[in-house]
Chains A and B, each alone.
Chain A
């Protein structure tokens, strides 16, 4: 009965490859997010969607493209992976934008070699 689930949990890939991370929430929330956590544990928002509509798009390289087929799903596709993309990526959802509890997925540890 996982509230926010993302797959895969681990992803090891070579530079230049394209990869996707999938996220699904069964909480009925309208808002979903992608966060990046770097090696120093810093959590930074990348994207936010509200009811399938892109709301926040931080200064993220355009190699990163989120897609929300419906409000329960938010996937992240990354093109031409670089070494600096190595991090843990967390999907999250909340009832409303920014001012209610965010429920996080278990994270995807991406390692680019």
Chain B
């Protein structure tokens, strides 16, 4: 069924360390994989996304990798800073065409300790 599994649910790292969050999806037709960051009391905002025709995408300190065969994708944050502390959500589309919908993972609460 439609499902996006996200791990870990919580992650605590020391400032400057790297953080990795992993997601697994179930729909093999999925072709778009966004990551959203939600700060406390704020709205989710897109930080990076990747399409199925590439295996990796980088934007400064954040990167996303995609393994279509295994149906999983990961968010990598390097040189973490306290302002990276937030809840991070992965998502993947379920269904196709006009009825496609974005299914979100359960979220990962990242705490970066100064």
Contacts and interface: CB of A to CB of B under 8 A. Distances in A.
Given A41-B87, A42-B107, A99 B43 contact: no
Contacts of A43: 44, 89, 104, 107
Interface stretch (B15-23, B60-68, B72-80, B95-103): B95-103
Contacts of A28: none
A70 B107 CA distance: 32
A99 B31 contact: yes
A18 interface: no
A102 interface: yes
Nearest to A56: B101
Interface string A27-53: 000000000000011111100101000
A55 B98 contact: yes
A75 interface: no
B31 A50 contact: no
Contact of B104 (A40, A44, A55, A106): A44
B8 to A, nearest CB: 14
B21 to A, nearest CB: 14
B32 A42 contact: no
B90 to A, nearest CB: 11
Nearest to B109: A41
21 contacts: A41-B38, A41-B107, A42-B107, A45-B101, A45-B102, A50-B98, A56-B101, A90-B43, A90-B44, A97-B99, A98-B95, A98-B100, A98-B102, A99-B31, A99-B100, A100-B32, A101-B34, A101-B49, A102-B102, A104-B45, A107-B43
Interface of B: 31-32, 34, 38, 42-46, 49, 87, 89, 93-95, 97-104, 106-107, 109
Interface of A: 40-45, 48, 50, 55-56, 90, 97-102, 104-107
